[in-house]
């Protein structure tokens, strides 16, 4: 793809994760609003959206307002986008001021994510259980075809085995998804490390690209402080 030639491989991984995250959000993403799907109300957990006041005159002003403010009567504050931008710059500089620790923390998380032996064992046991249960069902059906027996007892035993199989199957699928999620997070963190290694330690103005690549979400509190959650798990409240 053309975008692959424009964006470095590590940033490409983070971009893809960001697109996937946005696709799973309730609200659609708009390029004009980088805060959408990231800036979240601490009171009602709705996203913040941009509201425009005096849109037709010289007093036109953009304000960030919780999308649930008039739906659930939350007590979240309204914010000037520039305040959010400056707070992000401050949080980014604090995090990047100790880049080595940031990278080491991310690597420690990667080690935990790459250890899937416990999940693998559980998945294998469930697969074995499903195979054994499937054989029991086949034998039960075969036996029922060969001899006369209570069909009520047969149906009861059959349903019990099917229920056991379905429970094991659902649990195994859930564990497989959990493993895939861990591997995906590992890939994102590896890309995160390589990205910050190449970025400037200190910035003096807001960057939409850095915001999207570095921030998982930002929680807005009633006192107008914001907790920035970086993709490596680091949290900074400004």
User: Which pLDDT tens digit goes with each residue over 101-152?
Assistant: 888 888 888 888 888 999 999 999 999 999 999 999 999 999 999 888 899 9
Q: Could you give the number of structural domains in the chain?
A: 2
Question: In the prediction, which pLDDT does 27 show?
Answer: 42
Same domain, 57 and 68: yes
Same domain, 146 and 212: no
Strands 215-220 and 61-66: unpaired
pTM, entire model: 0.64
d(CA 137, CA 143): 10
The mean pLDDT value for 196-207 works out to 86
Same domain, 106 and 186: yes
pLDDT at residue 19 greater than cutoff 80: no
The mean pLDDT value for 210-225 works out to 92
Same domain, 140 and 215: no
- Three-state secondary structure string covering the chain: CHHHHHCCHHHHHHHHHHHHHHHCCCCCCECCECCCCCEEECCCCCEEEEEEECCCCCCCEEEEEECCCCCCCCCCCCECHHHHHHHHHHHHHHHHCCHHHHHHHHHHHHHHHHCCHHHHHHHHHHHHHHHHHHHHHHHHHHHHHHCCCCHHHHHHHHHHHHHHHHHHHHHHHHHHHHHHHHHHHHHHHHHHHHHHHHCCCCCCCCCHHHHHHHEEEEEECCCCCEEEEECCCCEEEC
Same domain, 121 and 76: no
Q: How far apart are the first and last CA of the chain?
A: 39
Same domain, 110 and 70: no
Same domain, 138 and 209: no
Burial readout 18-52 (b: 16 or more C-beta within 10 A, e: otherwise):
beebeeeeeeebeeebbbbbbbbbbbbebbbbeee
Same domain, 111 and 43: no
Do residues 80 and 65 lie in contact, with contact meaning Cβ atoms separated by under 8 Å? no
d(CA 149, CA 128): 29
Same domain, 77 and 113: no
pLDDT at residue 54 greater than cutoff 80: no
Do residues 85 and 206 lie in contact, with contact meaning Cβ atoms separated by under 8 Å? yes
Burial readout 124-133 (b: 16 or more C-beta within 10 A, e: otherwise):
eebeebbeeb
d(CA 80, CA 78): 7
Same domain, 48 and 77: yes
Same domain, 13 and 91: yes
Same domain, 89 and 119: no
Question: In the prediction, which pLDDT does 122 show?
Answer: 95
Question: In the prediction, which pLDDT does 12 show?
Answer: 44
The mean pLDDT value for 11-15 works out to 48
Query: Domain of 123?
Result: 98-200
Question: In the prediction, which pLDDT does 157 show?
Answer: 94
What residues contact residue 217 under an 8 Å CB cut-off, 6+ apart? 38, 39, 40, 229
How many alpha carbons fall within 13 Å on the CB side of residue 207? 14
- Kindly indicate the confidence band of residue 75, based on its pLDDT and cuts at 50, 70 and 90: confident
């Amino acid at each position: 793809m053309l975008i692959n030639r424009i964006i470095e491989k590590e940033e490409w991984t983070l971009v893809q994760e960001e697109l996937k995250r946005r696709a799973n959000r309730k609200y659609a993403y708009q390029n004009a609003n980088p805060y959408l799907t990231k800036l979240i109300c601490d009171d009602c957990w709705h996203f913040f959206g941009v509201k425009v006041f005096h849109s037709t005159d010289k007093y036109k002003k953009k304000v960030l307002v919780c999308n649930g403010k008039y739906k659930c009567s939350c007590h979240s504050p309204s914010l000037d986008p520039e305040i959010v931008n400056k707070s992000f710059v401050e949080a980014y500089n604090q995090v990047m001021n100790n880049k080595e620790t940031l990278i080491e923390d991310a690597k420690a998380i990667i080690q935990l994510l790459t250890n899937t032996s416990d999940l693998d064992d559980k998945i294998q046991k469930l697969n074995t259980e499903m195979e054994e249960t499937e054989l029991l069902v086949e034998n039960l059906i075969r036996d029922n075809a060969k001899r006369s027996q209570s069909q009520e007892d047969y149906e009861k035993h059959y349903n019990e085995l099917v229920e056991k199989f379905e429970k094991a199957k659902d649990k195994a699928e859930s564990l497989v998804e959990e493993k895939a999620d861990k591997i995906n997070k590992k890939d994102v963190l590896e890309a995160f490390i390589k990205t910050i290694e190449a970025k400037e330690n200190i910035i003096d103005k807001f960057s939409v690209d850095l915001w999207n690549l570095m921030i998982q979400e930002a929680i807005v509190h009633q006192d107008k402080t914001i907790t920035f959650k970086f993709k490596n798990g680091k949290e900074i409240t400004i």
